[in-house]
Every structure is written in structure tokens, then in C-alpha cells.
Amino acid sequence: MTTQAITATVWGNGGGRSYSDTATDDTFNNQLTTVTGSAQLGFGQTGQLIDHVLVEYTAGGAAWRIINRVTQQVQRVGFAFFPGSIPAQAGAIPPYVVGQDDVLEVYSQVA
């Protein structure tokens, strides 16, 4: 088990926020919080329409998900990019309105 830095930017028409955490391999318990205030996605962007989630992971591969922490319903999923290898249209997702109970989680695996 290793721990690596992970960052994310979540945005839409109403602006965006940056999130970060240290991801421990082989678990989905890596919940990212805002860089400036340690708020989870649901508190940091409640009610905002988002259409991009861009996650960067410094080692190996990683998958992310937006999940309702109460109902455990997965709202959106995607893959993280290695810094410096991000394609031009990276991070686009179907539009989604962030709910108060949503969290952004990452599952990482070192290559």
C-alpha cells in the first residue's frame, strides 16, 4: 500500500473548485476535499451544475466517482490522468447538479 497526491478540478457554468487528498491504493475511501477549506464536494458546490471533473494522480492509475454518501448511489464516474498527459477535452461529463450529500472519491492503483 502506498499513498500518493491526487488533485481534482470540478467546474461548470457557475465556476469551479479545486479538491485534493492523498490517495491510498486499493480503496475507494479517498474522499477529496476543497483545497481552501476542507469541504467535500456536496458542501463546496451544492446546487451547482457541473459538466467537467478533471482528476490528476501522480502515480499509477486511478478511477473517480461522485457518490451520494447517504444512499450510496453513484452519480458519475471517470478516470484520472497523469499530470502532463491531459487531452484537450479531458474531464467532460454529462451535466449534473451537485447534491449536498455528494462526495468525490478516488480509487487508486500504483502501476
Question: Tell me, what's the pLDDT at 60?
Answer: 73
Query: What value does the mean pLDDT take over residues 75-94?
Result: 87
Percent of all residues in the chain with a pLDDT value above 70, rounded to a whole number: 95
Ranges of each domain in the chain = 3-109
Query: What value does the mean pLDDT take over residues 39-52?
Result: 95
> Average model confidence (pLDDT) for the chain?
89
Contact 19, 8 (CB under 8 A): yes
Residue 88, strand partner residues: none
- Please give the Cα distance from 13 to 18 (Å, whole number): 15
Question: Tell me, what's the pLDDT at 1?
Answer: 66
- Please give the Cα distance from 72 to 90 (Å, whole number): 26
- Please give the Cα distance from 39 to 36 (Å, whole number): 8
